[in-house]
Structure 1
Amino acid sequence: MFDPGHDHDFCVGQVNMPEIAPRDAKTFLANPEMKGRIYVFFGPDSGLVSDRAQKLAQKLAGETGEVIRFHEAELDETASNLLDGLQAMSMFADRQVYHLPDMGRRLDGVLQAILQLADGHHPIVVEAAGKGKGDKIIKDLLKSDGVYLMACYRESARDIAQAIDEHLRQKGHKIDQDAFAHLTDILGEDHLLTISALESLELYLGPSPTHVTMDMVAEALGVRQSLDPSAIFDAMMSGRARLVAQMTIARQQDLHPAVIMSTIERDIQTISNMHGLMDQGFSGKALFGKLFPKVHFSRQDSLMRAARLLGPTKLREFRISLLESEHLQRRDDPMAWGRLERLLLRFSAA
């Protein structure tokens, strides 16, 4: 079986007992069991699912191995072409790990197809965000040999606090207690969103070590305002005139562009999660009942409208445009407001 040459004393896998307890996640990722055929990350925190899957794939590949990432577009309806590709590459390639990100509605079929592979193929790491222990495919996987599963739940306040502390320490920053408490309070709904928010804060602070105050955190990421930053995104979906009006109010209230962008990034992730559930056939109340993180009922109509107006392709373009405009979050950019408004107008409803 594939082994990049590491020592592996930590072994949690047993026949028909392949589940990794959440408390053992960090230990397993640091020194994973190499005898597995398939590693599946599932659960409600899509960001944590993606982050851990990527880390494990790279760990399994080692320094000289290669991670090959498949995409949903590369699969046919039965996933038979995936099987053919995996079998062929396993015969002729060395030190490869196959990483399958979330496959949407094809996920169950893909996992069932992978289970049919004969022993001896290279390791496969699969993202199954949104799946739970009650889903049939997860139950089937729990009965399968050589399969390791790890549930990814919302991070605890302690995990969030540790992530904040480690991130700031690496950059040489110090932080006031009230600012630290506020960060811990507002972060944690999704792992990747937490990382994104910390990166936004880092961009705002600049490259030099800084003593972070509550005012800095509030300006970079936001606190409770008379205008909810979510109103900007909702206005986008209602038309350009409404967006311009809301942006005017936000500017009058000195709502920093970084706060708006951070809020929009969270909404984009929510809509992406909604698209995944829609692919699985969910709609209406059933969709929002399944959706995680949960959203307030007052925003359900606007988010559903956004999910229809911003299809997966356009949503991806919007996300990329925001990432390419990270400089707008800097506190010393006098042109940030105008540039941000033009960016949002590009993706707003007519």
Structure 2
Amino acid sequence: MAQRKAGEVEAFLSRPDTSFPVVVLYGPDPGLVSERADKVAQLSGVDPSDPFSSVTLQADELERDIGRLFDEARTVSMFGGRRLIRVKGAGNGRNLSDAVADLADNPPEGATVVIEAGDLKKSAGLRLNAERGRGAMALPCYQDEGRSLDRMIDEELGEAGLSIDRAARETLRARLGANRLASRGEVRKLALYALGRRTVTEEDVEAIVGDVSADTVDETVDAAASGEVRLLPGLVERLTGAGTSIFQLQGALLRHFQTLQAMRAEVERGTPVPAVVERRRVHFRRKGAFEAALAAWDGAGIARALRRIEADILLSRKESALADTIMRRMLTEIGVEAARRRRARR
């Protein structure tokens, strides 16, 4: 079967191999998937900036017009040489999965097809067809752990002529997120901060590398529940860029509204909103958002919001390729509803 174990992927990518012109990369870390897809593209020898030799397609568009993929894969480059076709955002789409099976059995001559997918189950059609086809390769991309993460840290700091002491390394590893590209960016930022010195210290890491995920999750659910809709796009981008999973954010939103439901019940029994928030010992930075949300939502509204969140979490699990879209829509619509309720109470 044409596949590699997670620990074998780096070795596979260390040398060009055109015997597998169709490469499917998948995993929960979109940054790592993208970085390795860039490596495959580089090994193809095609200039990605050449519009006559390279094209990037979106998986959802191909589901509506899969013939485009075959046209691009079978087209001969105008000036000779190989062609590069990259497909982004793949998931459980039937048409793309079937197309991979066809291209794997009848590999395109002079073309490399690189497909970036999310975390595919063993039974996913796209993954199975890539593993079974004679001209395709499936490469799993999982989060940086252990030696892989240390290798990336040493690589980036080594290019800057820096070493890192043990305490600093442990602190840095704890602060890096689940997204490979975001983690690499943080290490590069650290290297720039320590430029001119020989060793990176723990103080350097604490000064320049932030652990943004936990704080940003709280900010995001607070913004949605209190109606600060304009803040949501930037907060969500920060989270996805740091590798925070969609289900982590959805779970945080669900727990937040469950907490609001219990607090709102106290308010409706006659306890003032500030007193309820104070009794719950909410962090001082979040008090304003909690008070705004409790003032905006009544018990019935919170109950409806909880049913909506639960339904969207279930839908996201069933339609994993659409999970990001479902999550963004859910946050926006809840935020809009909260803002409408706040205006109505003024």
Q: Same fold (TM over 0.5)?
A: yes
Map 1:125-274; keep pairs closer than 5 Å.
125-187=114-176, 189-203=178-192, 205=193, 207-209=195-197, 211-222=199-210, 228=215, 230-238=217-225, 265-268=238-241
Q: Structure 2 vs 1, CA of residues 90 and 114 (structure 1 numbering), >3 Å: closer, same or farther? A: farther
Alpha carbons 1:79, 1:110 under 8 Å: kept: yes
Output the amino acid matched with 2:174.
D
Output the amino acid matched with 1:79.
I
Q: Structure 2 vs 1, CA of residues 196 and 85 (structure 1 numbering), >3 Å: closer, same or farther? A: same
- Counting helix residues as a fraction of each chain, which structure ranks higher? 2
- Name whichever of 152-161 and 134-143 sits farther off: 134-143
1:111 counterpart residue number: 97
Match of 1:33 among 14, 17, 20: 17
Deviation at 1:167, TM superposition (A): 1.2
CA distance in 2 between partners of 1:290 and 1:197 (Å): 32
Residues 1:77 and 2:64 aligned together: yes
Alignment deviations for residues 155-203 of structure 1 (CA, whole Å, 9 cap, x no partner): 2222112211221121123333211111122325232231132234345
Deviation at 1:307, TM superposition (A): 5.0
Q: Structure 2 vs 1, CA of residues 290 and 81 (structure 1 numbering), >3 Å: closer, same or farther? A: closer
CA distance in 2 between partners of 1:199 and 1:69 (Å): 27
Identity, in percent, stands at: 22
Q: Structure 1: give runs of 5+ residues left out of the alignment.
A: 1-16, 245-260, 292-302, 312-348
Alpha carbons 1:271, 1:306 under 8 Å: kept: no
- Name whichever of 179-188 and 215-224 sits farther off: 215-224
Deviation at 1:273, TM superposition (A): 5.5
What count of residue pairs does the alignment treat as equivalent? 262
Alpha carbons 2:162, 2:198 under 8 Å: kept: yes
Output the amino acid matched with 1:113.
A
Q: Structure 2 vs 1, CA of residues 83 and 130 (structure 1 numbering), >3 Å: closer, same or farther? A: same
Alignment deviations for residues 18-44 of structure 1 (CA, whole Å, 9 cap, x no partner): 112223222211113211231111222
Q: Structure 2 vs 1, CA of residues 37 and 235 (structure 1 numbering), >3 Å: closer, same or farther? A: same
Q: Structure 2: give runs of 5+ residues left out of the alignment.
A: 251-310, 334-341
Output the amino acid matched with 2:160.
K
CA distance in 1 between partners of 2:246 and 2:326 (Å): 12
Match of 1:88 among 58, 75, 83: 75
Q: What SS class does the counterpart of residue 13 from structure 2 fall into? A: helix
Deviation at 1:102, TM superposition (A): 1.9
TM-score, structure 2 normalization: 0.61
Deviation at 1:96, TM superposition (A): 1.5
Alpha carbons 1:75, 1:81 under 8 Å: kept: yes
Alpha carbons 2:91, 2:118 under 8 Å: kept: no
1:284 counterpart residue number: 313
1:308 counterpart residue number: 330
TM-score, structure 1 normalization: 0.60
Alpha carbons 2:45, 2:82 under 8 Å: kept: yes
Q: CA RMSD in A?
A: 4.2
Residues 1:99 and 2:86 aligned together: yes
CA distance in 1 between partners of 2:229 and 2:37 (Å): 40
Output the amino acid matched with 1:19.
Q
Map 1:318-329; keep pairs closer than 5 Å.
none
2:285 counterpart residue number: none
Match of 1:48 among 28, 32, 45: 32
Q: What SS class does the counterpart of residue 75 from structure 2 fall into? A: helix
CA distance in 1 between partners of 2:319 and 2:150 (Å): 27
- Name whichever of 185-194 and 25-34 sits farther off: 185-194
Alpha carbons 1:83, 1:114 under 8 Å: kept: no
2:4 counterpart residue number: 20
Q: Structure 2 vs 1, CA of residues 270 and 188 (structure 1 numbering), >3 Å: closer, same or farther? A: closer
Deviation at 1:148, TM superposition (A): 1.0
Alpha carbons 2:157, 2:188 under 8 Å: kept: no
Q: Structure 2 vs 1, CA of residues 285 and 186 (structure 1 numbering), >3 Å: closer, same or farther? A: farther
Q: Structure 2 vs 1, CA of residues 25 and 223 (structure 1 numbering), >3 Å: closer, same or farther? A: closer
